[in-house]
C-alpha cells in the first residue's frame, strides 16, 4: 500500500518474502498495520519489490556493494530510524535487511513495517509465541546475507551462538560512558537516574562491539554531554539520545566502509574518511 500521492507520506505494508525460501519454519510478520498513524515523511525509500527481489533471488542486495544490516530493537526505535534514514540518504553504505525484535508491537517494529522492512520476532516467549529460536534466527540472517548486526535498544542478552556467528561484526549502543553505569539492569532511564544520583558531571553514549555479556565488549566510539545541576532523568536522556543518533550513524558508516582498525591490544579505532592515518 502506498499512501495517497501528494500527502508527502510514503508508507508500505511489510513485503512478505517467501518464507519457504528463507527458512523452513520461520515466518515474517504479516499483520497489516495502520501505517499512517506511525509513518512520517521519508524522502527516499527502496520499493517493496526491490527487497522481495533481492531476497528471492538470493542476490547480495539491491544496491551493489552496500552492506546488509540487521537491526535489533525492543522499544521506540529512534536509533534504528536514524540509521535507516542515513542508509537511505547515502550516509551509510548499507541496507537494513531485517528488523529483529522481542516486542512485535513496539514502535521500532511499526516503523519497519511502514518502511517495507521484514520483521522477525526473537526470541519466542509467552507474549510472543510467533518468535523464532536462535538457530532459526541464524538461518534467517544467513539467508538474508546479513553482514552486520546492530543492537539499537534491544534489551535481551544475545546468545553466545549469535555473538560467535558475527565476530567483530555486532555493535550495541548504550546510553552511558562505559564502563560506568553498564551491565545487567542498566538500561533506559535507570541509567540516567543512576548517573544523576552519582553526581557525575558528564555522561554520553558508547558504541561498542558485542560480546557474551551485557555492555562489556570493546568500546568503538563515545560522545560526552554535560550533566546539569537540575537535570531530570528525562532531560539527560534527551541530551544523550541526540548524541546517540549522531555517533551510532558515524560508527555504522565506518563499519560499512571498512574503516575500523584493531590496535595490537585489541582496541578498535575508526579511521577518518579523508586520511586513513588519522583516527576519529
The answer to the question of residue 77 lying near ligand GAR (CB under 6 A) is yes
Q: Are strands 119-121 and 202-203 parallel, antiparallel or unpaired?
A: unpaired
Judged by CB under 6 A, does residue 33 bind ligand GAR?
no
Q: What DSSP state is assigned to residue 221?
A: E
> What is the β-pairing status of strands 67-73 and 148-151?
parallel
In the set 174, 192, 208, 245, the catalytic residue is 174
Name the nearest CA neighbour of 220 among 193, 254, 186, 195: 254
Q: 96 and 69 in contact (C-beta within 8 Å)?
A: yes
71-79, 127-135, 193-201, 221-229 -> range binding ligand GAR (CB under 6 A):
71-79
Of 73 and 196, nearer to ligand GAR (C-beta) is: 73
Among positions 15, 153, 204, 217, the unique one binding ligand GAR when judged by CB under 6 A: 153
Task: Compare residues 61 and 154 and give the one whose CB is closer to ligand GAR.
Answer: 154
Phi and psi at 82, nearest 5°, equal: -70, -35
The phi, psi pair for 224, rounded to 5°, reads: -110, 135
Minimum gap (Å) between residue 32 Cβ and ligand GAR: 23
C-beta of 103: minimal distance to ligand GAR in Å?
10
The residue among 59 and 224 lying less far from ligand GAR, judged by its C-beta, is 224
Whole-angstrom distance, CA of residue 174 vs CA of residue 187: 8
Q: Please identify, using beta-carbon distances, which residue of 61 and 153 lies nearer to ligand GAR.
A: 153
Size of the site for ligand GAR (CB under 6 A): 18
* Contact call for residue 187 and ligand GAR (CB under 6 A): yes
- Cα 107 from Cα 204, distance rounded (Å): 23
Cell, residue 21: 525460501
Given its phi and psi angles, is residue 25 left (phi above 0), alpha (psi -120 to 50 degrees) or beta? Answer: alpha
- Residue 188 lies near ligand GAR (rule: CB under 6 A): yes
Find the binder of ligand GAR among 12, 78, 101, 203 (CB under 6 A).
Answer: 78
Contact 15, 23 (CB under 8 A): no
The nearest distance, CB 183 to ligand GAR, in angstroms, is 9
Terminal-residue alpha carbon distance, the chain: 42
Q: Where are the beta strands (DSSP E) in the chain?
A: 67-73, 94-101, 119-121, 148-151, 170-174, 202-203, 206-209, 219-222, 225-226, 260-262, 268-270
Among the residue ranges 55-63, 169-177, 222-230, 270-278, the one whose residues contact ligand GAR (CB under 6 A): 169-177
Residue nearest to ligand GAR according to CB distances in the complex: 153
101 makes contact with ligand GAR (CB under 6 A): no
Nearest partner of 95 among 256, 220, 244, judged by Cα: 256
Residue 64 CB, nearest distance to ligand GAR (Å)? Answer: 28
Can 174 be counted among the known catalytic residues? yes
**Site for ligand GAR contains 173 (CB under 6 A):** yes
244 is a site residue for ligand GAR (CB under 6 A): yes
- What is the binding site for ligand GAR (CB under 6 A)? 73, 75-79, 108, 152-153, 173-175, 187-188, 191, 205, 241, 244
Active site residues: 174
Amino acid at each position: 500500500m502506498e499512501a495517497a500521492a501528494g500527502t508527502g507520506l510514503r508508507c508500505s505494508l511489510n513485503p512478505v518474502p517467501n518464507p519457504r525460501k528463507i527458512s523452513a519454519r520461520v515466518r515474517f510478520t504479516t499483520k497489516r498495520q495502520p501505517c499512517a498513524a506511525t509513518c512520517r515523511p521519508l524522502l527516499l525509500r527502496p520499493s517493496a519489490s526491490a527487497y522481495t527481489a533481492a531476497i528471492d533471488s538470493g542476490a547480495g542486495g539491491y544496491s551493489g556493494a552496500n552492506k546488509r544490516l540487521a537491526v535489533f530493537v525492543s522499544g521506540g526505535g529512534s536509533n534504528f530510524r536514524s540509521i535507516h534514514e542515513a542508509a537511505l540518504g547515502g550516509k551509510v553504505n548499507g541496507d537494513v535487511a531485517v528488523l529483529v525484535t522481542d516486542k512485535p508491537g513496539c514502535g521500532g517494529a511499526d516503523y519497519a513495517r511502514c518502511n517495507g522492512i521484514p520483521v522477525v520476532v526473537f526470541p519466542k516467549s509467552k507474549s510472543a509465541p510467533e518468535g523464532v529460536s536462535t538457530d532459526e534466527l541464524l538461518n534467517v540472517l544467513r539467508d538474508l546475507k546479513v553482514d552486520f548486526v546492530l543492537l539499537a535498544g534491544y534489551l535481551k542478552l544475545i546468545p553466545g551462538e549469535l555473538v560467535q556467528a558475527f565476530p567483530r561484526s555486532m555493535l550495541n549502543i548504550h546510553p552511558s560512558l562505559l564502563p560506568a553505569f553498564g551491565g545487567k539492569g542498566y538500561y533506559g532511564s535507570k541509567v540516567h537516574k543512576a548517573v544523576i544520583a552519582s553526581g557525575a558531571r558528564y555522561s554520553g553514549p558508547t558504541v561498542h562491539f558485542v560480546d557474551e555479556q551485557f555492555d562489556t565488549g570493546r568500546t568503538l566510539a563515545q560522545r560526552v554531554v554535560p550533566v546539569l545541576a537540575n537535570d531530570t532523568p528525562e532531560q539527560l536522556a534527551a541530551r544523550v539520545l541526540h548524541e546517540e543518533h549522531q555517533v551510532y550513524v558515524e560508527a555504522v558508516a565506518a563499519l560499512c566502509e571498512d574503516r575500523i582498525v584493531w590496535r595490537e591490544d585489541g582496541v578498535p579505532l575508526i579511521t577518518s574518511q579523508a586520511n586513513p592515518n588519522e583516527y576519529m
